[in-house]
């Protein structure tokens, strides 16, 4: 007689409950849900593990689809009054309804000069400036720590990438002024 284990998942009104029931194969198969009833509103996936005793596991299928980031490059201050290395910054804004964890993200220019985000989360609706110069990071300002200008006065491209390297946003400008508003 082979031993069988059945994992039953119940999904109702956004609540996920899991019940593990050992049973014996043969004349009897025990699959129960809340109150002893067989669950009706569950999508099932079946996996068989081939061993001397076959085990069948039923799991509810729950798909977690990551939502795209809504952090955007809003503004590039590329030729500020005074020293460029002191006044240059890029401003990002989170247009989404949730905070965006940005630790490990990258902001790069057209020649791949790269700022790597420290431990940082941008709350919904908030802005952050990434300054080229040195400074002390806070919730609204991050500092690259460079002593030379980064953004070209005759044109450049800012590219924002998430921690996997996927491009989140891009903003290009032709120069001939002091700043560029991306949207």
The tens digit of pLDDT for each residue in 86-100 reads 999 999 999 999 999
Report d(CA 115, CA 50) in Å as an integer: 49
Q: Is the pLDDT of residue 37 over 90?
A: no
Report d(CA 131, CA 69) in Å as an integer: 22
Q: In the chain, what are the domains?
A: 3-60 (no CATH), 71-181 (2.60.40.1260)
Kindly give, in sequence order, each residue whose CB lies less than 8 Å from that of residue 45, ignoring residues fewer than 6 positions away: 58, 59, 60, 61
The whole-model pTM stands at 0.66
Among 29-38, 52-61, 112-121, 127-136, whose mean pLDDT is lowest?
Answer: 29-38
Q: Is the pLDDT of residue 18 over 70?
A: no
Report d(CA 41, CA 25) in Å as an integer: 25
Q: Are 139 and 122 in contact (CB under 8 A)?
A: no
Q: Is the pLDDT of residue 81 over 60?
A: yes
Cβ density class 154-180: b for 16+ within 10 Å, e for less: eebbbbbbbeeeeebbebebeeeeeeb
Question: Rounded to whole angstroms, what are the CA distances from 100 to 93, 105, 114, 143, 177?
Answer: 10, 11, 20, 19, 31
Burial of 13 (0-12, 13-18, 19+ CB in 10 A): exposed
Q: How confident is the model at residue 54 (pLDDT cuts 50, 70, 90)?
A: low
The more confident residue out of 55 and 118 is: 118
Residue range 131-146: mean pLDDT, rounded: 98
What integer pLDDT is reported at residue 117 of this predicted model? 98
Q: What percent of the chain has pLDDT over 70?
A: 66
Q: Is the pLDDT of residue 43 over 80?
A: no
Among 1-10, 29-38, 50-59, 96-105, whose mean pLDDT is lowest?
Answer: 1-10
Report d(CA 87, CA 136) in Å as an integer: 15
Among 45-49, 52-56, 107-111, 128-132, whose mean pLDDT is lowest?
Answer: 45-49
């Amino acid at each position: 007689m082979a031993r069988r284990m059945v994992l039953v998942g119940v999904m109702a009104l956004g609540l996920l409950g899991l019940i593990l029931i050992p049973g014996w194969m043969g004349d009897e198969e025990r699959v129960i849900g809340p109150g002893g009833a067989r669950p009706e509103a569950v999508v099932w996936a079946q996996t068989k593990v081939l061993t001397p005793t076959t085990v069948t596991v039923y799991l509810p299928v729950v798909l977690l689809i990551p939502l795209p980031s809504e952090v955007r490059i809003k503004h590039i201050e590329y030729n500020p009054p005074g020293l460029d290395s002191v006044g240059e910054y890029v401003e990002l804004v989170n247009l989404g309804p949730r905070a965006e964890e940005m630790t490990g993200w990258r902001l790069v220019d057209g020649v791949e000069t790269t700022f790597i985000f420290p431990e940082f989360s941008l709350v919904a609706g908030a802005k952050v400036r990434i300054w080229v110069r040195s400074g002390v990071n806070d919730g609204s300002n991050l500092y690259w720590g460079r002593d030379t200008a980064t953004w070209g006065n005759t044109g450049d491209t800012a590219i924002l990438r998430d921690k996997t390297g996927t491009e989140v946003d891009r903003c290009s400008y032709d120069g001939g002024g002091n700043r560029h508003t991306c949207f």
